Structure 1
Amino acid sequence: MAALAATALLVLVPTSAQAADVSYPDPRPITGQEIIHDPTVMRLRTGGYVAYSTGGVIGARLSKDGRHWDDAGNAFAEPPAWWYEYNDTGDPWAPDLSYRDGRYWLYYAVSSWGTNHSAIGVATSRTGLPGTWTDHGTVLTSETTDHWNAIDPAVIRADGRLWMAFGSYWTGIRMVELDARTGKAVKGTTVHHLATRPDEPYAVEGPYVVRHGRYYYLFASYDACCAGTSSTYRIKVGRSTSVTGPYVDSTGTPLLEGGGDLLLAGHGDFVGTGGQSVFQDKGGDWLAYHYYDAQDDGTPKLGLNRLSWTTDGWPLVL
């Protein structure tokens, strides 16, 4: 997305999330390899950008400037053997990239469509580049007897502890504490409930949690993905003073009761916006997501928009 003039920013930033315009800005124009699904994006400490995504053995894209993206193969040369317990094709989903303690950490999910026999795994790398990852096995698993689904991980540090939001259908979004040394779920950890919907199949997934000011913000994808131009994905958000909740929207409605402010929805040729993550670049926040291109047979592509914050602390897509 091209940078906006200061006068435009004054017009676009309302005093509350509910006052935001119902129209949405288009994503930043990019070139090169645009195809992506469930992106996690980061500016590397050595310069340049990397994006990992669903597809392949965790598909990889590289960029020098955040505008032109090149296909960089996959995070792994081949699937770790344990993946096949959860997916016959060894196909991972929805990675999450972070950096701490001198290493990059890549979390991801392995599952099959329509079941919560699922697992979240983790790998580490000194450079964050494709082909350099060492896998460390499962972080958290779920079975058909559980009331949650161990997919769509997103990791955040809060108050000196490490946490992972995750979840999908099967009652929505959950959170557990991780061991900062191993990166895996603390034994016996409480499974906190962050967001759901009152109606089955509880279509909320893909959580991402960020800290801004004194609040934690939970971004999540609602409704249906993965159906090309028939997709209805949209991104909603709530906030809490505690990383484990309760999260509420700008009207005070809890996300556990179906609340959530609509942050970004499909518009024009940009259909089914979701699978989001947030990253920092040069002191600013950016929203990364996929959309289905109505001008290209519903092909999923990378969306990048700068995030601003309203005067009362709610995110706004620019």
Structure 2
Amino acid sequence: MKRFTRLAALPAAAAIALLPTTASADVGYPDPLPLTGQQIIHDPTVHQLSNGQYVAYSTGGILGARLSTDLHDWTDAGNAFTTPPSWWYDYSSTADPWAPDLSYRDGRYWLYYAVSSWGTNHSAIGVATSPTGLPGTWTDHGKAFSSEKTDTWNAIDPAVIRAGGRLWMAFGSYWTGIRMVELDPGTGKAVPGAEVHHLATRPDAPYAVEGAAIVHHGRYYYLFASYDACCAGVNSTYKIRVGRSTSVTGPYTDSTGKPMLEGGGDLFLASHGRYIGPGGESAFRTHGTTWLAYHYYDADDNGTPKLGLNQLGWRSDWPVLK
């Protein structure tokens, strides 16, 4: 997503058609954790670092960074990178990265992110590593995966998960929805010639589903995805849906058995009260608790995008928000 413009993921005409004229808000969802400090954010990925601090990276700037000691109060910590890697300009004239994903394995922090431009799937997902996970300490390793205009998918919005002793990356926005490829755990890049699995889409163009996050719990993998239109402030219609599968590569179905490849997905979080258009989600685990991080548009603050944090619980093998 380009800064605060997730609709950059689809052709301009389709983006305009999706913009609603009024906002709608439902009730019945729990409010996010009360926060203080620097709350403005988009597409957050959150992780607790080895020094005990929490870091959140996001779209905006050269992957904007926020730090917290308690998940409640957040401070601005600059950007992940001090200068853009030169290859970013092949995919974005402004070298503007989107939608990062942060994880830890093999003694290093791994940061995946997307570089693209408005209305094109000439896109790439990059990968960087750091010994600490802190902003300014990242070494970029170039492209992990890319897409071209001849492809039927869009290489943005990465989400990495380990499953069955292998490393996988979900990705995708519009252009037939959510996809997945296997990564080489050594390089962190897509396995050469890897199959591109299809996880979720919608029946009609522009296939408005993106921003995958996958959580493993019990027998199942749970696929969370953002549906509809982001980035229009209080007029955003973003919402989060979820399905599950016993295999990380799918097929994913909702609680009625409808496949996510046929437009299925249980509605998990939508607008309510001041919290408009939640989406751009990711999941992280700390102190035995799994959290969902996302952005929403604050109707009480002129539609400013802010960080939402809720605990994930489970009921009858389906996730619930606390």
SS of 2:52 mapped into structure 1:
coil
Which residues of 2 match residues 239-250 of structure 1 at below 5 A? 239-250=244-255
Which residues of 2 match residues 60-75 of structure 1 at below 5 A? 60-75=65-80
Equivalent residue, structure 2, for 1:315? 319
Equivalent residue, structure 2, for 1:13? none
SS of 2:283 mapped into structure 1:
strand
Equivalent residue, structure 2, for 1:159? 164
Is residue 117 of structure 1 aligned with residue 106 of structure 2?
no
SS of 2:229 mapped into structure 1:
coil
CA RMSD of aligned residues (A): 0.9
SS of 2:32 mapped into structure 1:
coil
Letter in 1 for 2:319: P
Which residues of 2 match residues 1-318 of structure 1 at below 5 A? 23-310=28-315, 312-318=316-322
Provide the C-alpha distance between the structure 2 equivalents of 1:267 and 1:91, rounded to a whole number of angstroms. Answer: 31
Once the two structures are superposed, residues 243-289 of structure 1 have per-residue CA deviations (whole angstroms, 9 ceiling, x without a partner) of: 00000001110000010011100111110000000111110111100
Provide the C-alpha distance between the structure 1 equivalents of 2:206 and 2:276, rounded to a whole number of angstroms. Answer: 21
| Structure 1 runs not aligned, ≥5 long | 1-20
SS of 2:98 mapped into structure 1:
strand
Equivalent residue, structure 1, for 2:17? none
Equivalent residue, structure 2, for 1:14? none
| 8 Å contact from structure 2 (residues 27, 272) kept in 1 | no
Alpha-carbon offset, residue 78 of structure 1? 1.1
Provide the C-alpha distance between the structure 1 equivalents of 2:313 and 2:138, rounded to a whole number of angstroms. Answer: 33
Provide the C-alpha distance between the structure 2 equivalents of 1:150 and 1:257, rounded to a whole number of angstroms. Answer: 21
Provide the C-alpha distance between the structure 2 equivalents of 1:163 and 1:113, rounded to a whole number of angstroms. Answer: 26
Provide the C-alpha distance between the structure 1 equivalents of 2:106 and 2:74, rounded to a whole number of angstroms. Answer: 28
Alpha-carbon offset, residue 22 of structure 1? 6.0
Equivalent residue, structure 2, for 1:11? none
Provide the C-alpha distance between the structure 1 equivalents of 2:299 and 2:114, rounded to a whole number of angstroms. Answer: 28
Alpha-carbon offset, residue 296 of structure 1? 1.2
Provide the C-alpha distance between the structure 2 equivalents of 1:294 and 1:140, rounded to a whole number of angstroms. Answer: 37
SS of 2:234 mapped into structure 1:
helix
Provide the C-alpha distance between the structure 1 equivalents of 2:298 and 2:125, rounded to a whole number of angstroms. Answer: 29
Equivalent residue, structure 1, for 2:3? none
Provide the C-alpha distance between the structure 1 equivalents of 2:260 and 2:120, rounded to a whole number of angstroms. Answer: 24
Letter in 1 for 2:321: V
Letter in 2 for 1:71: D
Provide the C-alpha distance between the structure 2 equivalents of 1:298 and 1:55, rounded to a whole number of angstroms. Answer: 16
| Structure 2 runs not aligned, ≥5 long | 1-25
Larger deviation, residues 206-215 vs 21-30: 21-30
Once the two structures are superposed, residues 165-195 of structure 1 have per-residue CA deviations (whole angstroms, 9 ceiling, x without a partner) of: 0001100000000000000000000000000
Provide the C-alpha distance between the structure 1 equivalents of 2:69 and 2:167, rounded to a whole number of angstroms. Answer: 30
TM score, norm. by length of structure 2: 0.91
